Structure 1
Amino acid sequence: MEMSLIEKNFENLDNLVELIEKEKEITYMDALVLGLEYIHTGELPTGISESSTDIIKELVQEVTFDELEKEQVRKVLEFAMLKSMKGSTQQQHLLTPDTVAMYIAYLAEKLIGEKKQLRMFDPTSGTANLLTAVFNQLNREGKVYGSEIDPTLIQLAVLSANLQKTEIEYFHQDSIQPLLLDPVDLVVADLPVGYYPDDIRASQFDVHVKNDHTYAHHLLIEQSVHYVKPGGYLLFVIPNSLFDSDQATKLHGYIQANVHVVGLLQLPTSIFRSDQQAKSIFVLQKKGEHTKPPKQALMAKLPSFKDSRATENIVAKMNEWFKNEGY
């Protein structure tokens, strides 16, 4: 029943976006921004022929976001965003799979426990699909923040938050630059992998390397730790090769000095195009006066999400680990 509601809304949204795309001769992604703006504000995009205007007006009536739960709205938008990114080679134009978001939300839930008010931040928020998926699942009151440099992605993120009726404050900027952000309880991020071109800014970080560009994902880890409260948690989607790189020594030293490694969960390779692109969830806690490292870090290789029995077994083992660690 739920799926058919989501599918019906996606179909109507998709038809609406395709019509705007064709009329204005723009990309599906740009047309999606205009379509969602129209749904949100009621302001029709300019430059649409009269005959198509009537069809668009009819289609927008069929997109019934007001009748859906937040998570259903997010899923409709996710389908549209996935379509807009089809064939994209840009790392920032790829969505974090829902199954990964579910594991991150599960881990965050265990770590933050009874905490009712939550400050949460994603420094690489993109369209905010991961951020809203986790926040929806945690179902807490709180302040949510995202940072994104790509102008189209941040437009989609703002519209997504508005249509889900979730208040999120966005920074339209490079997240490695200073942020006007008070410390948060929780950071979630699917880290983009690559070099950071601004060597002067990078030189202000502990993970900075001389005579080369520093890895942006290393800088983002340090920047995130800076904006987390002592005792706060960070959940990153990282490349499996994180500690095999030529710059790993600096990162390793920074991690040892500033955070406790809570766990490392290897994601199933079946969800990635190749073994080289495989990733893990890296769970950290910022050191504080009353923090201590786990007796034993949570290490697991997650099974294929299609194998429900193996998934149930691994979740039971993780529940046991959290219980033994006193969470």
Structure 2
Amino acid sequence: MMRIAINGMGRIGRLLFRRLIDSNEVELVAVNDIMDADNLAYLLKYDSIYGTFAGNITHKPGALVANGKEVKALQQQHPYLLPWKDLQVDVVLECSGQFSNRAAAEQHIKAGARRVLLSTTGSNDIPLLVYGFNQHALTKEETIISPGGCMTNCSTHILYILNAIGIKSVQCNILHSYTSRQELVDAPHKQFRRGRAAAEAIIPVEIDLQQSLERLLPTMKDKIASVSTRVPVANGALADFTIQLQHETTREEINKLFSTAAKNDYKGIIEYTEDPLVSLDIKGNTHSCVIDGTLTSVIGNHVKLIAWFDNEYGFTTRMIDWLGLMK
């Protein structure tokens, strides 16, 4: 059984813990975070988005105990000092956000881990592989992998499918729940808008989605613009695509394209719906994107396409899918 460790117990790290602790496919052997173990156990047990942990979780010196399974709890700031060799760790889920370039992520390899799976888009010297799109490019020799971020996992499939018709340009606005990279009260921040009170305003923020999409879809270079608008909700996102196609189309043609994809090649990755959803309805959804056919609109060759996604649950589902490929 594959032995897994998690470095960084923020939102993604804790959700992965909850989802992997009872897995029959992998064994979660250790977590690492600088927070105190009692605080970590509390945050694992009580979650404001996904509710109370379904089971028992306690802590003791150097370990967490969840549903009778003991997981070593470490508090090491430097990954190269972690006991991955002694623990025979196969894959480290690097969820701290601090070690996303090759030199930094390789500290886990030097510590004895066989492979590292980031929880974000890494630097350009790390392969960017989106599950459901180019996962076949994974080789046994590659030790560090970026699965992209939640926005990249949503957008890549949509643009790839539409590019079969031919895309002239695309403007993408991700209406996204606020995150830990924003402030709850006004405070200094190098991106001034991120320093404004997240629960009190609609806040446009800079993102690197355009660069990620151009890496994955090089024929789309200089055709993509993107922004994320943070809204005062704690979970969920709505991706708003305004696309100029090479040819005129119809609302029916676009919806059929995605409903067919969702049933066939992209089953489990894309979902298609014509239910009148709101963001709360996406909580816990495992898909990378949920195309809302009720909101598709077309004027000539101009298309408005709307997709929902759970920025935490959908993305951790893809990370778990990656573990299945990394055996």
* TM-score in terms of structure 1 length: 0.29
TM-score, length-scaled by structure 2 = 0.29
Which structure's residues are more often helix, by fraction? 1
The answer to which structure has the higher strand fraction is 2
